[in-house]
Amino acid sequence: MKKPHLVIDVALCQGCNNCFLACKDEHAGNDWPGYAKSQSPLGERWIEIPYRERGQYPLIDVTYRPTMCTHCADAPCVPRSDGAIGKRADGIVLIDPEKAAGREELVKACPYGMIAWSEESGVAQKCTLCAHLLDSGWTKPRCVQACGPGALSFVWETDHEFAKRAAADGVEALHPGDPEHTAVGYKNLTRFESCFIAGSVAVEHNGIVDCASGRAATLKHAAGSAADGAAGAGEETVQTVLTDAFGDFKFDGLKSGSGEYVVEVASNGHGPARIAVKLGESVNLGTIMVGGER
């Protein structure tokens, strides 16, 4: 059967909060029998939008990650709920508003903190993926409809079809489980979870300093390398990129605290410039001067 899948591309999210506001508009003050009771206008949030700032001026990357119930492949809240929470055949996980009434302990049934307590309705609640709308013929939830940048998209596909999409587009599950069995998946999640090493390359020619575009920059894991950046044994190439029109380069997808690296930048007619980096969090190396014409 075709199942609903919400895909969130964190590279496109601008932190506008339209998804959060659309959720409030749909659920605050509205009861949807069998799906959810009225969402409290204040305090109760079904969508959180944490952000992460990486790097240093002027090479800074700010990433937002809309976060809600992912309707997990093997939803841990279901067996912890004594029948108040169930997973439908289409993969949507719902809290029964009648069985969950007065049971504030159900908030702790989700280990990822995605169940909220409604003071107004006296029931534990969470994102329903707007199942009441989908069941009445809508093709997408309100949050997807309201997303101007296109960071949220929605598809109806079989497990096999979505598995192929996930492999091709790099869609991941936020929590344990295959993305095809989870209703909410993420693209470019590395932008939120990883670190980068970045810098700018410039060249001086006839007394004029200019951006060095199209220069090869190579990142090497520097196990066994000399601390001063001199070539050492055991270096393993991680990534090679070309500088852009402004001479900028970035090596992304690196693990925080992953140790010693060396950045090599091609220098026309000279040996490559080498910079040793001990990676803690994301780092901007600043401007690297190299020899040769730009």
Q: Which domains does the chain have, with CATH numbers?
A: 3-192 (3.30.70.20), 195-290 (2.60.40.10)
The Cα angle at residue 14 between residues 10 and 18, in degrees rounded to 5:
105
CA dihedral 278, 280, 284, 288 (to 10 degrees): 0
CB atoms within 10 A of CB 134: 18
pLDDT at residue 233 greater than cutoff 80: no
151-181: per-residue pLDDT in tens?
A: 999 999 999 999 999 999 999 999 999 999 9
CA dihedral 168, 171, 173, 177 (to 10 degrees): -10
Cα separation, 234 vs 219, in Å, equals 13
pLDDT at residue 204 greater than cutoff 50: yes
Phi-psi region of 122 (alpha: psi -120 to 50; beta: other; left: phi over 0): left
Q: pLDDT-based confidence at 222, cuts 50/70/90?
A: confident
How much is the pLDDT for 235? Answer: 86
The dihedrals phi and psi of 141, each to the nearest 5 degrees, come to -75, 170
pLDDT at residue 74 greater than cutoff 60: yes
- Looking at residues 45-69, what average pLDDT do you find? 94
How much is the pLDDT for 268? Answer: 73
Q: Token digits for 222? A: 């520097």
93-147: per-residue pLDDT in tens?
A: 999 999 999 999 999 999 999 999 999 899 999 999 999 999 999 999 999 999 9
Cα separation, 143 vs 123, in Å, equals 22
DSSP state of 107: G
Q: pLDDT-based confidence at 272, cuts 50/70/90?
A: confident
How much is the pLDDT for 293? Answer: 57
pLDDT at residue 229 greater than cutoff 80: no
Burial class (CB in 10 A: 0-12, 13-18, 19+), 198: buried
pLDDT at residue 227 greater than cutoff 50: no
Looking at this protein, which amino acid is placed at residue 276?
Answer: A
Whether residue 8 contacts residue 150, with contact meaning beta carbons closer than 8 Å, is answered with no
The dihedrals phi and psi of 212, each to the nearest 5 degrees, come to -105, 90
CA dihedral 238, 243, 249, 254 (to 10 degrees): -20
Q: pLDDT-based confidence at 228, cuts 50/70/90?
A: very low
Distance of CA 279 to the CA centre of its chain: 21
Q: Give pTM, 2 decimals.
A: 0.85
